[in-house]
Structure 1
Amino acid sequence: MATLYKVTFLNAGKIYELYARKIASGNLWGFTEVSELVFDLHEGLVVDPTEERLRDEFGSTRVLHLPMQSIVRIEEVERKGQSAIRDATTGEKVVTPFPLPAKPR
């Protein structure tokens, strides 16, 4: 079974939680390399908007170079959980809700 890591880091006032297969000390001093990012592939009607947003933002990323001071924690996990974007001050999930139709007046 391949090793899987949960990477939690700060970015633009939000806390990101991503999953990756490889973590290494970067060739750039002060940076950690995160590569082989893992995303859920939803084939049905139910789509997680947070997972979609993360896939849109990082889907084509080969290696993510994170400054050491932005990393909150790196955990080696047995299986992938739900990726998340949280507000750094409150810890609440930041999810773009599915747009609802406007109420008629």
Structure 2
Amino acid sequence: MEVSWDIFLLIAGCSVVTILPRVVPLVLLSRIALPEPLLRWLSHIPIAVMAALVGQELIQMDGGFQLSDHLDLAAGILTFAVALKTRNLLWTVVMGCVFAMVLRLLVNG
């Protein structure tokens, strides 16, 4: 299998454009001590990103409400309870996947 130079340069360019915005801030910020209020604020970013990714999907409704059409919402509510109880992102994600799988198996047979 032969790779043309155009494709190789495209992949290399995309790699550079993807890596630079991640590596440059990491290298620059690792060399300085950040103030405690900023570190506290930054600690909320993973939860905010997770909420942004999941929230839209959970509350999107087309027409009437039937639980069988919104199993993700039911799994999301159960997952939110786990998040409140454990305050652990790993357990929240794992249990959310388990809740979604079990509810789909129960409802769809």
TM-score bin (small chain): under 0.3
Larger radius of gyration: 2
Greater relative contact order structure (CA < 8 Å, 6+ sep): 1
Which structure dedicates a bigger proportion of its chain to strand?
A: 1
Structure (1/2) with the larger helix percentage? 2
